[in-house]
């Protein structure tokens, strides 16, 4: 069992029939966990040789058959036999760089993405490449909130508020409080000319939650 709650939530979005590419696999913990659960095709990749060596060492110790490949995102990968991509622990611009080659996504039915920043921008981008966000899970770990997105192929659209704040779930109350406090702090650090931007975000978040009868 993976110790990290964040990585475990990523694994929860993967089904036994999926054939996965774990981009930027780091220590290959997700790849190893899913192979243990019976997935037939698992490919662990990384752009950094040292990181891939650590992944290969962990895979060897696990005594599981998991393919590995050194690759800049999807560039060097034959996508023919895969339907699911996992990208976690990266910034939005890196994730966008990886997914920009739309031809590579032709056979992909599912994306599982955890970005370290720019979540509204990432949500908007996902909708431009032929996917929609079906679900989001928020995890608090190591003093950080992490948002994990389950994306499926299709053309459904999130509302403007969902693009900004994420898919509403009442169990995410602490996260919404954190967002509001973040906007408040930012409003106090910027010049008066920019303060209104963050005050509007606070008001928009308040309205979003009140519409769903979430009083906090």
* Tens of pLDDT, residues 137-149: 999 999 999 999 9
Residue 17 CB partners (closer than 8 Å, separation 6+): none
For residues 152-178, give the mean pLDDT. Answer: 94
Give the residue among 87, 139, 138 at the shortest CA–CA distance from 108. 87
pLDDT (mean) for 79-106: 94
Report whether 133 contacts 123 (CB < 8 A): yes
For the whole model, what pTM was predicted? 0.92
Domains of the chain: 5-157 (3.40.50.150), 173-211 (no CATH)
Nearest in space to 114 (alpha carbons), one of 130, 98, 137: 137
Q: Say how far apart CA 64 and CA 33 lie, in whole Å.
A: 10
Average pLDDT over all residues of the chain: 93
Instruction: Please answer whether residues 212 and 176 qualify as being in contact, where contact means their C-beta atoms are separated by less than 8 angstroms.
Output: no
DSSP H or E stretch at residue 199 = helix 192-211
pLDDT level of residue 216 (50, 70, 90 thresholds): low
Q: What average pLDDT does range 167-191 have in this prediction?
A: 92
């Amino acid at each position: 069992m993976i110790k990290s709650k964040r990585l475990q939530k990523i694994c929860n979005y993967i089904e036994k029939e999926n054939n996965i590419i774990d981009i930027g696999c780091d220590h290959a913990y997700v790849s190893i966990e899913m192979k243990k659960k019976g997935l037939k095709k698992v490919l662990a990749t990384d752009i950094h040789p040292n990181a891939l060596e650590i992944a290969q060492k962990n895979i060897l110790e696990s005594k599981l058959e998991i393919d590995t490949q050194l690759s800049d995102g999807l560039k060097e990968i034959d996508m023919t036999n895969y339907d699911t991509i996992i990208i976690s622990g990266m910034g939005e611009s890196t994730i966008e760089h990886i997914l920009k080659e739309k031809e590579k996504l032709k056979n992909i039915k599912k994306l599982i993405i955890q970005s370290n920043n720019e979540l509204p921008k990432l949500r908007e981008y996902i909708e431009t490449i032929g996917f929609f966000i079906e679900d989001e899970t928020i995890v608090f770990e190591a003093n950080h909130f992490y948002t994990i997105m389950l994306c499926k192929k299709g053309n459904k659209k999130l509302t403007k508020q969902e693009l900004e704040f994420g898919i509403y779930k009442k169990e995410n109350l602490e996260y919404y409080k954190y967002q509001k406090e973040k906007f408040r702090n930012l409003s106090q650090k910027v010049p008066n000319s920019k303060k209104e931007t963050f005050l509007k975000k606070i008001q928009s978040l308040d309205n979003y939650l009140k519409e769903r009868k979430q009083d906090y």
